């Protein structure tokens, strides 16, 4: 039997995502009511510019006083899509204090203060859901929190930023340089006027922190995530990757150590074999590869950003939270019981592709090989090309500690025969 009194929803933010949430709530109102067991009513919309015309939204619902809106006391669910740290953090905690559960798409805030927000939700007996914070419409948070709750996740490897994947895909498929591909992404609306958060890996790092925390039942903050952007990736790197049967992606990688005693979370460009499922992810799409003990290998794929895809994830959370409200329950909160330490990047073991500019003369390869051996880094393959006294030396290693590789590169730079280190890139997905 359906309840006739509606559940009231406050919307914080009415930009690309917020306006789409409001539209779906209106156009799909009957279906949402049937799925929830009660109608949902948009009770207020907090914005910065109230004079802007917002199609389909009653102007009487619009306010600039977000704090007053979440303090009303009759609000059942607050949907936060304004982003940033403040005032989002204060508004969310205020919502909990005044009886509302929260659905958020705020990856930056959750990566920085997720533990405190979960604690506040638990203290007041409210829900905190955030499927839309990672990978847009792709169902990922809920499978990790619920579907795989009885399994042991060992690794999460993914493309979680559409802008960077579009740029790298263009560089791969057309031979374009980084700036040329970025300009095209900007012209098509895939990149912001200031693309720093995307291309320097900040966006992906926030998502990696969230994924690692859920996957490993451990608190992982943004500061725990090693981050390396993709602005230094060149067309020459792609040519080298193709010679190895690889392509290059900006990856978010969350791993449990082989002994299970620690975890790592990192974001950086990496070569991956063309045979790996992530290698075929094109354009602005996202994909996440999950490896667990019982389920084995799982892949989640789809549009990772945009108004409609992100709104889809928000509405899915809204339905779940409203159902919980009707049943007098809450969904799963933070699971951080494992409390595993987060190891630094120096403890990570992986393969490397190193391109060196060297003098084209006898004995250079022997000198380089000696440096690798002295630092405990085993060489898998070497390729050398040169003329007119200069040469390019490409070394691919076996798996080695990041700290050992760092020491190796520092020693290589001191060799008289090494003119420079053209590029260093990790090799993943094998």
Q: Which residues are marked as active site?
A: 207
CA distance 402 to 424: 11
In three state form, how does the secondary structure of the chain look?
CCCCCCEEEEEECCCHHHHHHHHHHHHCHHHHHHHHCCCEEEEEEECCCCCCCCCCCCHHHEECCHHHHHCCCCCCEEEECCCCCCCHHHHHHHHHHCCCEEEECCHHHHHHHHHHHHHHHHHCCCCEECHHHCCCCCCCHHHHHHHCCCCCEEEEEEECCHHHHHHHHHHHHHCCCHHHHHHHHHHCCCCCCCCHHHHCCHHHHHHHHHHHHHHHCCCCCHHHCEECCCCCCCHHHHHHHHHCCEEEEEEEEEEECCCCCCEEEEEEEEEEECCCHHHHCCCCEEEEEEEECCCEEEEEEEECCCHHHHHHHHHHHHHHHHHHHHHCCCCCCCCCCCCCCECCHHHCEEEEEEEEEEECCCCHHHHHHHHHHHCCCCEEEEEEEEECCEEEEEEEECCEEHHHHHHHHHHHHCCCCEEEEEEEEEECCC
Q: Which residues contact 31 (CB under 8 A, 6 or more apart)?
A: none
CA distance 197 to 160: 13
| Phi-psi sector, 317: left (phi>0), alpha (psi -120 to 50), beta | alpha
CA distance 151 to 294: 6
The CB-side HSE value for 396 (13 A sphere, CA atoms) comes to 14
């Amino acid at each position: 039997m359906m309840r006739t009194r509606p559940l009231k929803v406050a919307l914080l933010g009415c930009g690309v995502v917020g306006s789409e949430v409001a539209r779906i709530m209106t156009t799909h109102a009957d279906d949402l009511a049937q799925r929830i067991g009660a109608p949902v009513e948009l009770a207020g919309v907090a914005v910065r510019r109230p004079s802007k015309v917002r199609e389909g939204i009653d102007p009487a619902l619009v306010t600039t006083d977000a704090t007053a809106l979440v303090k009303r006391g009759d609000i059942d669910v607050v949907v936060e899509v304004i982003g940033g740290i403040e005032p989002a953090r204060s508004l969310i905690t205020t919502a909990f204090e005044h009886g509302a559960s929260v659905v958020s798409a705020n990856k930056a805030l959750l990566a920085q203060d997720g533990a405190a927000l979960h604690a506040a939700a638990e203290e007041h007996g409210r829900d905190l859901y955030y499927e839309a914070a990672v990978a847009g419409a792709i169902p990922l948070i809920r499978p990790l929190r619920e579907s795989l709750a009885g399994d042991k996740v060992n690794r999460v490897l993914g493309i979680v930023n559409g802008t960077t994947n579009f740029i790298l895909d263009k560089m791969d498929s057309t031979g374009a340089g980084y700036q040329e591909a970025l300009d095209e992404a900007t012209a098509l609306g895939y990149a912001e006027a200031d693309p720093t958060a995307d291309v320097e890996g900040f966006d992906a790092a926030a998502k990696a922190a969230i994924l690692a925390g859920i996957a490993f039942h451990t608190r992982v903050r943004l500061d725990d995530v090693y981050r390396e952007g993709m602005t230094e990736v060149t067309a020459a790197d792609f040519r080298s990757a193709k010679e190895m049967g690889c392509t290059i992606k900006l990856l978010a990688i969350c791993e449990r150590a082989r002994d299970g005693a620690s975890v790592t979370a990192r974001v950086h460009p990496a070569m991956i074999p063309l045979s790996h499922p992530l290698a075929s992810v094109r354009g602005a799409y996202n994909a996440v590869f999950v490896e667990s003990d019982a389920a084995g290998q799982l892949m989640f794929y789809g549009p990772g950003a945009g108004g409609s895809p992100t709104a889809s994830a928000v509405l899915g959370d809204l339905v779940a939270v409203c159902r919980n409200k009707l049943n007098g329950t809450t969904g799963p909160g933070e699971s951080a019981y494992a409390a595993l330490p987060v190891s630094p990047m120096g403890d990570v073991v992986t393969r490397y592709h190193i391109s060196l500019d060297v003098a084209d003369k006898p004995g250079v390869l022997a000198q380089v090989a000696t440096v690798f051996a002295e630092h405990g880094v085993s060489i898998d393959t070497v390729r050398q090309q040169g003329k007119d006294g200069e040469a390019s030396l490409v070394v691919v290693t076996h798996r080695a500690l990041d700290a050992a590789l760092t020491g190796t590169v520092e020693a290589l730079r001191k060799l008289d025969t090494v003119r420079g280190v053209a590029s260093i890139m990790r090799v993943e997905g094998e």
